Chains A and B, each alone.
Chain A
Amino acid sequence: MDGPPLLDLRLVFVTGKGGVGKTTTAAALAQLAARQGKRVLACEVDAKGDLASLFEAAPTDFSGREVVPGVHVMSMDTEASLREYLKLNLRVPVAGRLGPVAKAFGFVATAAPGVREILTVGKLCYEVRERNYDLVVVDAAASGHIVSQLAAPQAINDLVKVGLIRTQTDWMLDILSDPRRTGLVVVTTPEEMPVNETLELADRVASETTVRLSAIVANRVLPELFGRHEEAVFDQLCQRVDELSKLVGGDAEPVMDGARLAVTMRRTRAGHLQRLREGVGTAVPILYLPYLFTRAHGMRTTRQVATSLGEELGL
């Protein structure tokens, strides 16, 4: 694998199909980096407030806040990003809300593809350029939209021939295209559709963007109950479930049925993982995260997933 270890990057975009654990993985990555002594900015692009809640913190805004030691969380707001941009680059004094300019902006942003995206990516690249943080982790757009987000600077470069934006996109592209600084992490689960989408996305990222795919996270991997030899014994036990029921003093059939279902689930999922491995080849590492039976949300999960990620990264 070329490029530095994941946590040595400066800017990491985390994406994935809806519902696979994208936000949890982004939070865990930030938490893990902070454990390594890094100063981390975690940015939520879809302002849902979920990212802060994974640190048991109240929703954040554009200015961001340190939610746990070493981890700052911010929520992207393209209008605020525009205001900051105008202040920094054009010396346009913007007091309070943008008013009519904001209305006009909202309109242009809706009409002109890439304007919203460029303000998002621009803000993130800016934080990297200014070295305000050791690592910027982005809970990015879902896999359906990530390509247009990452390709926005290039698309704007193609559409806009002159103007200030043109000179601005050049340094953004420098950061985004640098595999030593920027990487993409795709989160998936070992199920059919998420794996299909991940493989398609890997192709599109390679052909349509300049960002390097750094890792794939396979989330919710079920534990293997037993190997081949033990499975033969399991089959024997299933055949003698009546005898087993007598010994254990209760109906053992549902317990055996449950185990059979777990084995089938695990096997179906192993097939999808195999497909994923073959599809991405050896150039991109796959990090495996276990299925969590107990909790679904909050700091506890973030810490557990961070630990699992650390183990997978050999930390």
Chain B
Amino acid sequence: MTEQRRARQRSRSKPAAGEPAAPRTRPQRPREGSLDGLLATKEIVISCGPGGVGKTTTAAAAAAMAACHHGGKVLVLTIDPARRLADALGLKDLGNTERRIPDEAFGHLQPRGELWAAMLDTQQSWDALVRRHAPDARTRDAILANPLYRNISGRFIQSHDYIAMERLYDLHSAGDYDLIVVDTPPTRNALDFLDAPHRMAEFFSSRLLRWLTVSYRSRMMSMASRPFLQVADRILGTQFLADIAEFFILFQSMYDGFVARADAVTRLLSDRRTTFMVVSTLEAAPVREAEYFAGALAERNLSLGALVLNKVLPAYFRDREAAQVAGRMQAGAHGLAGGLRWTDSSAVEGVQDTAARVLVEVADSFLNFGVVARREAEQQAELAASPEVLATVPFFDADIVDMEGLLRLGSMMWS
């Protein structure tokens, strides 16, 4: 083993138990960094941001690039059941268990490492969690069979956030991968998943929970003296209330395991080996959300490693000279069309008329997109976030349908 590799391994070794994560000093402006460098140094990259900006694709592209150029085992963990992504990765489908992307999917490229992918299945992951934390087989089976459990684990929105972070912790601590890229759930509040572990622990430790379950046990005697239960009973019905109470009495037995795990997940998120990649477009609403998100990361002293701006219009739309040309083209379309020498002499007049119409449309379109492009540039200039890496990805004229497309996208944000 070379000295260099040993040093690298040392720096990657886990901090001793109880050792607090070192405070990070945040750069004031984008550093001369690249996604290449960022992915080479981190073990976990969490891709987040508003919905509909290409977050899943960006995460997959980053992971594919890392597998190609850095080597090692790279995993992309997604929550989006997008068929196209599975197709693009050369897999029939994505499931809860990680699967390796066949090298053939990379085409003529020989990836240095291995690319793996998994899609988070909330229900399956919850079941696995219950199996791990349940104190005995009887409790485990009772929880898995409880109708409320199935409802909550499958539909309770925050449970997706929690389980994504839980799964990440699990995969990371198993040590099977050099780099894990996580695509986060498109939550209403993009921050929910950051607080999810803590909130879940708080939920199970709440005095209210204890109060409810204790009062349920003795409620036959004290029903009349408990106005809440009386009201709840009238609203929800006795059986439903009993189901709730049974569920929480069972879940309390897993309390210690849950809290310990939630703390560990929180520590992992703030570890220096973990970084966040905020993905956005330059449209007004996504930019607002992305900024809010970047601010919240800073507040929590979490590292904003990269800001990826997707679908950015080409810079030539903002070119002043080109806009003047478009203006002249629009005003003098007929003269221009007449000035061109048309070889197709049989219908010169018709062609000239058509050409004039086309030139007007072309110029108008250019000026329209020019407005959008300038608005985008303004949004970008106003971005207060200061990531280590800022990458802009130009507008793609085609959908990404295969690994070639993913890598093409990836190379645009790479260095």
Contacts and interface: CB of A to CB of B under 8 A. Distances in A.
Interface of A: 17-20, 46, 86, 90, 92, 100-101, 103-104, 107-108, 110-113, 141-142, 144-145, 148, 155, 159-166, 192-194, 196, 223, 225-226, 229-230, 233-234, 236-237, 240, 243-245, 247-252, 254-259, 261-262, 264-265, 268, 293-294, 296-297
B316 A258 contact: yes
Contacts of A256: 362
A225 B238 CA distance: 64
Contact of B328 (A141, A160, A249): A249
B255 interface: no
Interface string B41-77: 0000000001111000000000000000000000000
A163 B358 contact: no
A163 B362 contact: no
18 contacts: A17-B51, A19-B286, A90-B231, A101-B231, A103-B208, A104-B232, A111-B248, A145-B157, A159-B147, A159-B151, A163-B234, A196-B83, A236-B355, A254-B322, A254-B366, A264-B398, A293-B368, A296-B283
A210 B149 CA distance: 25
A240 B240 contact: no
Nearest to A194: B52
Given A17-B51, A17-B52, A264-B397, A254 B157 contact: no
Nearest to B147: A159
Contacts of A262: 365, 369
Contact of A226 (B82, B247, B357): B357
B32 interface: no
Interface in B211-241: 212, 227-228, 231-240
Contact of B316 (A230, A250, A254, A268): A254
B237 A163 contact: yes
B237 A166 contact: yes
A230 B328 contact: no
Given A101-B228, A230-B358, A262-B365, A165 B399 contact: no
Contacts of B322: 250-251, 254-255, 258
Nearest to B81: A200
A294 B371 contact: yes
B231 A86 contact: yes
Contacts of A226: 357-358, 361
A275 B247 CA distance: 45
Contact of A104 (B212, B324, B339): B212
Nearest to A293: B368
B366 A259 contact: yes
Interface in B270-285: 283-285
A165 B233 CA distance: 10
Interface residues of B, number: 78
Chain B interface mostly helix, strand, loop or mixed? helix
Nearest to A48: B188
B329 A233 contact: no
A247 B341 CA distance: 11
B339 to A, nearest CB: 5
B357 A230 contact: yes
Chain A interface mostly helix, strand, loop or mixed? helix
B84 to A, nearest CB: 7
A142 B359 contact: no
Given A111-B248, A258-B317, 8 more contacts: A104-B208, A108-B244, A162-B237, A163-B240, A249-B325, A255-B329, A265-B395, A265-B397
B395 A296 contact: no
Contact of A251 (B158, B325, B363): B325
A194 to B, nearest CB: 7
B129 interface: no
Nearest to B363: A255
A261 B366 CA distance: 10
A293 B147 contact: no
Contacts of A160: 236-237, 239-240
Contact of A244 (B155, B236, B340, B365): B340
Contacts of A18: 50-52, 186
B372 interface: yes
Most chain B beta-carbon neighbours within 10 Å: one of A17, A46, A296: A296
B25 interface: no
Nearest to B284: A296
Given A104-B212, A226-B361, A261-B397, A111 B152 contact: yes
